[in-house]
Structure 1
Amino acid sequence: MKYFAAITLHLQASSVIVFNGLNFSEWCEQVKFHLGVLELYLALLEDKPTAITDISNEQEKLYHKQWERSNRLSLMFMRMTIANKIKTTISQTENAKEYLNFVKERFRSIDKSLAGTVMAQLTTIKYNRLKSMHEHIIEMSDIAARLKTLGIAVDDSFLVQFILNSLPPEYGPFQTNYNTIKDK
Protein backbone atom coordinates (compact mmCIF):
# COMPACT_ATOMS: atom_id res chain seq x y z
CA MET A 1 0.00 0.00 0.00
CA LYS A 2 2.86 2.41 0.79
CA TYR A 3 4.39 1.80 -2.64
CA PHE A 4 1.08 2.63 -4.29
CA ALA A 5 0.89 5.92 -2.34
CA ALA A 6 4.46 6.82 -3.33
CA ILE A 7 3.77 6.09 -7.00
CA THR A 8 0.54 8.09 -6.89
CA LEU A 9 2.31 11.05 -5.27
CA HIS A 10 5.07 10.95 -7.88
CA LEU A 11 2.60 10.68 -10.77
CA GLN A 12 0.57 13.61 -9.46
CA ALA A 13 3.71 15.71 -8.95
CA SER A 14 4.99 14.94 -12.45
CA SER A 15 1.77 16.35 -13.94
CA VAL A 16 2.22 19.72 -12.18
CA ILE A 17 4.06 22.45 -14.03
CA VAL A 18 7.50 23.10 -12.61
CA PHE A 19 7.73 26.33 -10.66
CA ASN A 20 10.43 28.39 -12.36
CA GLY A 21 10.12 31.64 -10.42
CA LEU A 22 7.83 33.25 -13.00
CA ASN A 23 4.68 31.13 -12.74
CA PHE A 24 3.73 31.15 -9.06
CA SER A 25 -0.04 31.58 -9.48
CA GLU A 26 -0.40 28.75 -11.98
CA TRP A 27 1.95 26.47 -10.02
CA CYS A 28 0.23 27.19 -6.70
CA GLU A 29 -3.21 26.49 -8.16
CA GLN A 30 -2.03 23.15 -9.54
CA VAL A 31 -0.24 22.19 -6.32
CA LYS A 32 -3.34 22.91 -4.22
CA PHE A 33 -5.55 20.98 -6.62
CA HIS A 34 -3.32 17.90 -6.66
CA LEU A 35 -2.80 17.93 -2.90
CA GLY A 36 -6.58 18.14 -2.55
CA VAL A 37 -7.08 15.17 -4.86
CA LEU A 38 -4.51 13.24 -2.83
CA GLU A 39 -6.26 14.37 0.38
CA LEU A 40 -3.01 15.90 1.63
CA TYR A 41 -4.19 19.49 1.97
CA LEU A 42 -4.75 19.44 5.75
CA ALA A 43 -1.32 20.94 6.53
CA LEU A 44 -1.99 23.82 4.11
CA LEU A 45 -5.33 24.60 5.72
CA GLU A 46 -4.58 24.17 9.41
CA ASP A 47 -1.75 25.28 11.66
CA LYS A 48 0.37 22.64 13.33
CA PRO A 49 -1.61 21.02 16.15
CA THR A 50 -0.39 21.10 19.71
CA ALA A 51 2.02 18.39 20.73
CA ILE A 52 0.68 15.05 21.86
CA THR A 53 0.82 14.56 25.63
CA ASP A 54 -0.01 11.75 28.04
CA ILE A 55 -3.52 13.14 28.42
CA SER A 56 -4.22 13.43 24.66
CA ASN A 57 -7.21 11.38 23.56
CA GLU A 58 -7.32 9.06 20.53
CA GLN A 59 -9.00 11.66 18.34
CA GLU A 60 -6.23 14.21 19.05
CA LYS A 61 -3.57 11.58 18.37
CA LEU A 62 -5.19 10.60 15.08
CA TYR A 63 -5.53 14.25 13.99
CA HIS A 64 -1.89 14.92 14.89
CA LYS A 65 -0.80 11.87 12.87
CA GLN A 66 -2.91 12.95 9.86
CA TRP A 67 -1.54 16.49 10.02
CA GLU A 68 2.07 15.26 10.26
CA ARG A 69 1.58 12.98 7.24
CA SER A 70 -0.09 15.76 5.26
CA ASN A 71 2.68 18.19 6.17
CA ARG A 72 5.53 15.81 5.30
CA LEU A 73 4.06 14.72 1.95
CA SER A 74 2.93 18.25 1.01
CA LEU A 75 6.48 19.52 1.53
CA MET A 76 7.88 16.69 -0.59
CA PHE A 77 5.27 17.34 -3.27
CA MET A 78 6.03 21.07 -3.46
CA ARG A 79 9.79 20.53 -3.47
CA MET A 80 9.45 17.97 -6.28
CA THR A 81 7.67 20.56 -8.45
CA ILE A 82 10.14 23.43 -8.03
CA ALA A 83 13.03 23.96 -10.42
CA ASN A 84 16.39 23.11 -8.85
CA LYS A 85 17.76 26.62 -9.42
CA ILE A 86 14.85 28.02 -7.36
CA LYS A 87 15.00 25.50 -4.50
CA THR A 88 18.22 26.96 -3.15
CA THR A 89 16.64 30.42 -2.79
CA ILE A 90 13.71 29.17 -0.71
CA SER A 91 14.00 29.08 3.04
CA GLN A 92 14.02 25.51 4.33
CA THR A 93 11.22 24.96 6.80
CA GLU A 94 9.54 21.82 7.98
CA ASN A 95 6.05 23.32 7.78
CA ALA A 96 4.21 23.07 4.43
CA LYS A 97 2.00 26.10 5.06
CA GLU A 98 5.01 28.26 5.97
CA TYR A 99 6.92 26.96 2.95
CA LEU A 100 4.10 27.86 0.55
CA ASN A 101 3.70 31.29 2.15
CA PHE A 102 7.42 31.94 1.90
CA VAL A 103 7.41 31.02 -1.81
CA LYS A 104 4.39 33.27 -2.32
CA GLU A 105 6.03 36.26 -0.62
CA ARG A 106 9.35 35.69 -2.35
CA PHE A 107 7.90 35.60 -5.86
CA ARG A 108 4.78 37.80 -5.58
CA SER A 109 6.39 40.84 -7.21
CA ILE A 110 7.60 38.73 -10.13
CA ASP A 111 4.05 37.40 -10.58
CA LYS A 112 2.64 40.96 -10.61
CA SER A 113 5.24 42.00 -13.15
CA LEU A 114 4.34 39.02 -15.30
CA ALA A 115 0.66 40.00 -15.12
CA GLY A 116 1.51 43.41 -16.55
CA THR A 117 3.48 41.82 -19.37
CA VAL A 118 0.67 39.38 -20.20
CA MET A 119 -1.91 42.19 -20.10
CA ALA A 120 0.21 44.22 -22.52
CA GLN A 121 0.41 41.17 -24.76
CA LEU A 122 -3.40 40.84 -24.78
CA THR A 123 -4.01 44.51 -25.53
CA THR A 124 -1.38 44.87 -28.28
CA ILE A 125 -1.60 41.57 -30.18
CA LYS A 126 -2.62 41.92 -33.83
CA TYR A 127 -4.00 39.39 -36.29
CA ASN A 128 -1.25 38.89 -38.89
CA ARG A 129 -2.70 36.13 -41.10
CA LEU A 130 0.19 33.78 -40.29
CA LYS A 131 -2.35 31.54 -38.62
CA SER A 132 -6.06 31.07 -39.02
CA MET A 133 -8.60 33.41 -37.43
CA HIS A 134 -9.65 30.53 -35.20
CA GLU A 135 -6.06 30.06 -33.95
CA HIS A 136 -5.77 33.82 -33.33
CA ILE A 137 -8.94 33.86 -31.22
CA ILE A 138 -7.81 30.77 -29.30
CA GLU A 139 -4.44 32.42 -28.63
CA MET A 140 -6.13 35.52 -27.26
CA SER A 141 -8.46 33.38 -25.13
CA ASP A 142 -5.43 31.53 -23.77
CA ILE A 143 -3.78 34.83 -22.85
CA ALA A 144 -6.96 35.87 -21.00
CA ALA A 145 -6.99 32.52 -19.18
CA ARG A 146 -3.37 33.04 -18.19
CA LEU A 147 -4.27 36.44 -16.78
CA LYS A 148 -6.97 34.78 -14.71
CA THR A 149 -4.38 32.46 -13.14
CA LEU A 150 -2.39 35.60 -12.28
CA GLY A 151 -5.40 37.08 -10.50
CA ILE A 152 -6.75 39.34 -13.26
CA ALA A 153 -10.11 38.31 -14.66
CA VAL A 154 -10.87 39.53 -18.18
CA ASP A 155 -14.61 39.88 -18.75
CA ASP A 156 -15.86 38.11 -21.88
CA SER A 157 -17.14 41.35 -23.41
CA PHE A 158 -13.69 42.92 -22.94
CA LEU A 159 -12.05 39.89 -24.52
CA VAL A 160 -14.34 40.15 -27.54
CA GLN A 161 -13.48 43.85 -27.82
CA PHE A 162 -9.74 43.09 -27.61
CA ILE A 163 -10.17 40.47 -30.35
CA LEU A 164 -12.08 42.91 -32.56
CA ASN A 165 -9.45 45.59 -31.97
CA SER A 166 -6.72 43.15 -33.00
CA LEU A 167 -8.19 42.73 -36.47
CA PRO A 168 -6.89 44.63 -39.52
CA PRO A 169 -8.91 47.54 -41.06
CA GLU A 170 -10.70 45.37 -43.65
CA TYR A 171 -12.64 43.81 -40.78
CA GLY A 172 -14.13 47.25 -39.96
CA PRO A 173 -17.60 46.38 -41.31
CA PHE A 174 -17.63 43.23 -39.18
CA GLN A 175 -16.66 45.26 -36.09
CA THR A 176 -19.37 47.83 -36.80
CA ASN A 177 -21.98 45.11 -37.33
CA TYR A 178 -20.98 43.41 -34.07
CA ASN A 179 -21.11 46.66 -32.09
CA THR A 180 -24.54 47.45 -33.56
CA ILE A 181 -25.91 44.02 -32.59
CA LYS A 182 -24.29 44.19 -29.14
CA ASP A 183 -25.90 47.56 -28.33
CA LYS A 184 -29.44 46.36 -29.05
Structure 2
Amino acid sequence: MKYDGTRSMHEHCIEMTNLAAKLKNLGMSVDDSFLVQFILNSLPPQYGPFQINYNTTDEKWTSNELTGKLVQEESRLGREGIKVAHYVQGAGSKVGKGIKRAIKEHHPT
Protein backbone atom coordinates (compact mmCIF):
# COMPACT_ATOMS: atom_id res chain seq x y z
CA MET A 1 0.00 0.00 0.00
CA LYS A 2 1.41 3.37 -1.02
CA TYR A 3 0.37 6.87 -0.02
CA ASP A 4 -1.21 8.41 -3.12
CA GLY A 5 -2.40 11.77 -1.84
CA THR A 6 -6.11 11.01 -2.21
CA ARG A 7 -6.50 11.11 1.58
CA SER A 8 -4.81 13.17 4.23
CA MET A 9 -1.60 11.86 5.73
CA HIS A 10 -3.43 11.36 9.03
CA GLU A 11 -6.04 9.16 7.32
CA HIS A 12 -3.31 7.20 5.56
CA CYS A 13 -1.49 6.48 8.84
CA ILE A 14 -4.76 5.48 10.52
CA GLU A 15 -5.49 3.08 7.65
CA MET A 16 -2.04 1.52 7.98
CA THR A 17 -2.54 1.19 11.75
CA ASN A 18 -5.92 -0.45 11.15
CA LEU A 19 -4.29 -2.95 8.78
CA ALA A 20 -1.77 -3.83 11.50
CA ALA A 21 -4.66 -4.32 13.96
CA LYS A 22 -6.42 -6.64 11.49
CA LEU A 23 -3.24 -8.69 11.12
CA LYS A 24 -2.99 -8.90 14.91
CA ASN A 25 -6.57 -10.21 15.04
CA LEU A 26 -5.52 -12.89 12.57
CA GLY A 27 -2.74 -13.97 14.94
CA MET A 28 0.11 -12.07 13.27
CA SER A 29 1.69 -9.73 15.78
CA VAL A 30 2.91 -6.48 14.22
CA ASP A 31 5.50 -4.70 16.32
CA ASP A 32 5.16 -0.91 16.48
CA SER A 33 8.68 -0.44 15.08
CA PHE A 34 7.67 -2.60 12.09
CA LEU A 35 4.55 -0.47 11.63
CA VAL A 36 6.72 2.66 11.62
CA GLN A 37 8.88 1.17 8.84
CA PHE A 38 5.76 -0.01 7.00
CA ILE A 39 4.40 3.56 7.01
CA LEU A 40 7.75 5.10 6.04
CA ASN A 41 8.07 2.69 3.11
CA SER A 42 4.61 3.67 1.87
CA LEU A 43 5.59 7.31 1.32
CA PRO A 44 6.15 8.91 -2.09
CA PRO A 45 9.49 10.44 -3.18
CA GLN A 46 8.51 13.91 -1.89
CA TYR A 47 9.02 12.50 1.62
CA GLY A 48 12.57 11.28 0.87
CA PRO A 49 14.30 13.94 3.00
CA PHE A 50 11.91 13.13 5.85
CA GLN A 51 12.79 9.43 5.61
CA ILE A 52 16.51 10.21 5.51
CA ASN A 53 16.15 12.39 8.60
CA TYR A 54 14.39 9.57 10.46
CA ASN A 55 16.99 7.00 9.44
CA THR A 56 19.91 9.18 10.52
CA THR A 57 18.65 9.98 14.02
CA ASP A 58 19.19 7.74 17.02
CA GLU A 59 15.71 8.48 18.35
CA LYS A 60 13.08 6.07 17.06
CA TRP A 61 9.46 7.15 17.02
CA THR A 62 6.27 5.30 17.86
CA SER A 63 3.65 5.04 15.14
CA ASN A 64 1.66 7.81 16.88
CA GLU A 65 4.70 10.11 16.96
CA LEU A 66 5.40 9.32 13.31
CA THR A 67 1.81 10.16 12.37
CA GLY A 68 2.07 13.56 14.03
CA LYS A 69 5.39 14.34 12.36
CA LEU A 70 4.08 13.23 8.95
CA VAL A 71 1.04 15.49 9.31
CA GLN A 72 3.45 18.38 10.00
CA GLU A 73 5.58 17.39 7.00
CA GLU A 74 2.48 17.22 4.78
CA SER A 75 1.61 20.76 5.87
CA ARG A 76 5.17 21.97 5.23
CA LEU A 77 5.23 20.44 1.76
CA GLY A 78 1.88 22.06 1.02
CA ARG A 79 3.15 25.48 2.10
CA GLU A 80 6.16 25.06 -0.19
CA GLY A 81 3.87 24.22 -3.07
CA ILE A 82 5.06 20.63 -3.36
CA LYS A 83 2.14 18.49 -4.37
CA VAL A 84 1.96 14.76 -4.00
CA ALA A 85 1.22 13.16 -7.36
CA HIS A 86 -1.89 11.06 -7.48
CA TYR A 87 -1.35 7.54 -8.68
CA VAL A 88 -4.01 6.51 -11.17
CA GLN A 89 -4.50 2.88 -12.03
CA GLY A 90 -6.96 1.69 -14.58
CA ALA A 91 -7.45 0.22 -17.99
CA GLY A 92 -9.14 1.26 -21.16
CA SER A 93 -9.49 4.48 -23.08
CA LYS A 94 -11.72 6.19 -20.49
CA VAL A 95 -8.78 6.59 -18.11
CA GLY A 96 -6.62 8.29 -20.71
CA LYS A 97 -9.45 10.60 -21.80
CA GLY A 98 -10.10 11.60 -18.19
CA ILE A 99 -6.48 12.49 -17.67
CA LYS A 100 -6.33 14.46 -20.94
CA ARG A 101 -9.51 16.34 -19.96
CA ALA A 102 -8.08 17.17 -16.51
CA ILE A 103 -4.88 18.47 -18.08
CA LYS A 104 -6.82 20.67 -20.50
CA GLU A 105 -8.94 22.07 -17.65
CA HIS A 106 -5.87 22.99 -15.59
CA HIS A 107 -3.69 24.13 -18.49
CA PRO A 108 -5.86 25.65 -21.23
CA THR A 109 -4.07 26.37 -24.48
* TMscore range, shorter length: 0.5 to 0.7
The correspondence for 2:33, drawn from 139, 154, 157, is 157
Q: Does residue 142 of structure 1 match 2:22?
A: no
Residue aligning to 2:48: 172
C-alpha distance in 2, partners of 1:166/1:129? 11
| Structure 1 residue identity aligned to 2:46 | E
The correspondence for 2:8, drawn from 121, 127, 132, is 132
Q: Which runs of 5+ in 2 are unaligned?
A: 61-109
C-alpha distance in 2, partners of 1:140/1:134? 10
Aligned residues: 60
1:4-39 Cα deviation digits (max 9, x unpaired): xxxxxxxxxxxxxxxxxxxxxxxxxxxxxxxxxxxx
Residue aligning to 1:19: none
Aligned residues: CA RMSD: 1.5
Q: Which runs of 5+ in 1 are unaligned?
A: 1-124
Over alpha carbons, which structure has the higher Rg? 1
Percent identity of equivalent pairs: 70
Q: Which of structures 1 and 2 has the larger relative contact order (alpha carbons within 8 angstroms, sep 6+)? A: 2
TM-score (norm 2): 0.52
TM-score (norm 1): 0.31
Residue aligning to 1:65: none
1:9-24 alignment runs, 5 A limit: none
1:75-122 Cα deviation digits (max 9, x unpaired): xxxxxxxxxxxxxxxxxxxxxxxxxxxxxxxxxxxxxxxxxxxxxxxx
C-alpha distance in 2, partners of 1:179/1:161? 10
User: Aligned-pair distance for 1:183?
Assistant: 6.3
1:130-180 Cα deviation digits (max 9, x unpaired): 000000000000000000000001111110101000000110100011111
Q: Which has a greater percent of helix?
A: 1
| Structure 2 residue identity aligned to 1:170 | Q
Residue aligning to 2:96: none
C-alpha distance in 2, partners of 1:163/1:149? 19
